[in-house]
Amino acid sequence: MIEVQNLRKEYGGFVAVEGSSFSVDRGEVFGVIGPNGAGKTTTLKTLAGLIEPTAGTAVVADRPAGHPEMQRTLGFLPEESPLYEEMTAHSYLEFFADLYDVPGDVASERIAEALDRLDLEHRDRRIGNMSKGMKRKVAIARALVNDPEVLIFDEPASGLDPLTTNYIIDFTRELSDEGKTIIFSAHNLFHVESICDRVVIMNEGEIVARGTLEEIRDAHGGTEYHVYATVDVGGAVQENGHFRHVVDDMDAVDRIRATVEDDGGRVTDIQTHTPSLEDIFLDVAGEARA
């Protein structure tokens, strides 16, 4: 569905993206994350055909990024999405449906369905008089008006209240369940972790980690087991009258348990600690900077 090979984008002497390669399967939610200036937005705009790469290739829906037919199958929601504030939500979406040559009866049905699903009230109110959350819903509906195969969401819930944010995240998940292919970028890594099938982490223009969350954990974090015991059998930290031993696998847990019992103690608790995507991101970005 999406294939990116050795993507490079340079502005003068500044390299915004260097050597990025990844693929996205049909129906997948693919996360692109990284700190500010990592090259995320440049990558997304290149996929949307808004920026020409300096080198490398990007193919979306079997066509080069920027090809007119590709753009007809794409819905793009940028982080900053100015709207025509004198229009109502309904007239604004009709305008964009006309740009995509969507027949009038199809457009009316599609617009009504999108606004209903997004629970957008006051759809005949001028956009300039809408709240930020309502405006974001209008922008999402605009990205859907041409019934795209591929959606690119850049910070879809940026600056919104928690209730609206959760609604948009759930809606994105519904679109994935319907078979839409979604590129998803957000600074809130909990949302990325909860919705994305695979992720790439970018830093200073390069991809520094990739894979499913489990694969990234195995490569850059891994699961730890915290074994709490009444005695120290080496390398423990004392906490609340118990000794905490940290090991990497269940075989080591069994060895700790046996050694504790041999020393006349007992294991009081075993806890599994799995790093979040945010923990991994901070570690990976820090390693890349070093």
pLDDT of residue 52: 94
Q: How many domains does the chain have?
A: 2
Please enumerate in sequence order all residues whose Cβ is within 8 A of that of 21, keeping only pairs 6 or more positions apart, or say none.
4, 5, 6, 7, 56, 207
Picking from 218, 241, 264, the residue at the C-terminal end of a domain is 218
Tokens of 139: 């922008």
The reply to whether 100 falls in a domain is yes
pLDDT of residue 265: 93
- Ramachandran region of residue 80, left (φ > 0), alpha (ψ -120 to 50) or beta? beta
Indicate if 241 and 264 belong to the same structural domain. Answer: yes
The reply to whether 285 falls in a domain is no
Indicate if 117 and 17 belong to the same structural domain. Answer: yes
- Rounded distance between C-alpha atoms, residue 268 and residue 188, angstroms: 36
Tokens of 66: 């920027």
Indicate if 211 and 239 belong to the same structural domain. Answer: no
Q: What is the CATH number of the domain that holds 74?
A: 3.40.50.300
Indicate if 99 and 168 belong to the same structural domain. Answer: yes
Residue span of the structural domain in which 264 resides: 223-273
pLDDT of residue 234: 87
Indicate if 159 and 240 belong to the same structural domain. Answer: no
Please enumerate in sequence order all residues whose Cβ is within 8 A of that of 155, keeping only pairs 6 or more positions apart, or say none.
79, 185, 186, 187
Indicate if 128 and 260 belong to the same structural domain. Answer: no
The reply to whether 284 falls in a domain is no
Q: What is the CATH number of the domain that holds 249?
A: 3.30.1490
In 3D space, the residue among 241, 232, 221, 218 whose CA is nearest the CA of residue 286 turns out to be 221
Indicate if 46 and 112 belong to the same structural domain. Answer: yes
The reply to whether 39 falls in a domain is yes
Q: Quote the DSSP letter at residue 238.
A: E
- Rounded distance between C-alpha atoms, residue 44 and residue 139, angstroms: 17
pLDDT of residue 10: 95
pLDDT of residue 109: 94
Location of structure tokens 């440049």: 42
The residues with which 30 forms a beta bridge, in sequence order, are 183, 198
Picking from 176, 195, 218, the residue at the C-terminal end of a domain is 218
pTM: 0.83
- Rounded distance between C-alpha atoms, residue 59 and residue 45, angstroms: 13
Picking from 192, 218, 244, the residue at the C-terminal end of a domain is 218
Indicate if 231 and 202 belong to the same structural domain. Answer: no
Indicate if 133 and 227 belong to the same structural domain. Answer: no
Residue-wise pLDDT tens digits, 54-85: 999 999 999 999 899 998 899 999 998 889 99
Find out whether 74 and 150 touch, Cβ atoms under 8 Å.
yes
The reply to whether 65 falls in a domain is yes
Indicate if 153 and 245 belong to the same structural domain. Answer: no
The reply to whether 231 falls in a domain is yes
Location of structure tokens 């839409």: 180
The reply to whether 283 falls in a domain is no
The residue ranges of the chain whose pLDDT is under 70 are 221, 286-290
Indicate if 202 and 236 belong to the same structural domain. Answer: no
Q: Quote the DSSP letter at residue 248.
A: S
Q: Where are the alpha helices (DSSP H) in the chain?
A: 40-47, 68-72, 89-99, 104-117, 132-144, 162-177, 189-195, 213-220, 250-262, 277-289
Residue-wise pLDDT tens digits, 9-30: 999 889 999 999 999 999 999 9
Location of structure tokens 């103690």: 265
Indicate if 146 and 10 belong to the same structural domain. Answer: yes
